Amino acid sequence: MLREADLRVTRPRVAVLSAVHDHPHADTDSILGATRERLPEVSHQAVYDVLRALTSAGLVRRLQPSGSVARYEARVGDNHHHVVCRSCGAIVDVDCAVGYAPCLSAADDAGFEIDEAEVIYWGRCPSCAAAQPPAPTHRTAAERGTS
């Protein structure tokens, strides 16, 4: 994969790429830990540099849901989306809601050549939903249809 992307094959690149494949949606610190299991001497800066190079080469996708640190995944090139748990922060892949190409068709592209769509669904994962039911909503008398 590295050679196909015109990147030199180095031990840090192989270790980081393997860590991203093994730990989808991991943050940089988690990738650093997983990389150090294979390559103990790798520096924090080297992991950052490799992640940047892999992202630029299209071998890794960087995502950063609102309120979260950057996460990385090896699933690239298919324009999939994500669902994020509001409680625990778990992230799961979600295939395009309408199929591959329709997700890239904006109602008004404003003249842009669109090549990617990013959709993030928010909610609660099954574990968090089972652990704590949602808070009751408070509706006004008018909304309830009473006075």
Worst-scoring range by mean pLDDT, 10-19, 58-67, 94-103, 134-143? Answer: 134-143
**Confidence label for 77 from pLDDT (cuts 50, 70 and 90):** confident
Residue 19 main-chain phi, psi, to 5 deg: -65, -40
CATH number of 77-131, picked from 3.30.1490.190, 3.40.50.300, 3.30.70.260, 3.40.605.10: 3.30.1490.190
Where along the chain do its domains lie? 1-75, 77-131
Q: Give me the half-sphere count of Cα atoms (radius 13 Å) on the Cβ side of residue 15.
A: 22
pLDDT tens readout for residues 110-135: 999 887 778 899 999 999 999 976 65
Q: What is the pLDDT of residue 107?
A: 83
Burial class (CB in 10 A: 0-12, 13-18, 19+), 134: exposed
Give the architecture-level CATH label for domain 1-75.
Answer: Orthogonal Bundle (1.10)
Q: What is the pLDDT of residue 10?
A: 96
Report the C-alpha gap between 43 and 29 in whole angstroms: 12
Report the C-alpha gap between 51 and 45 in whole angstroms: 10
Report the C-alpha gap between 40 and 28 in whole angstroms: 16
pTM to 2 decimal places: 0.79
Residue 123 main-chain phi, psi, to 5 deg: 180, -150
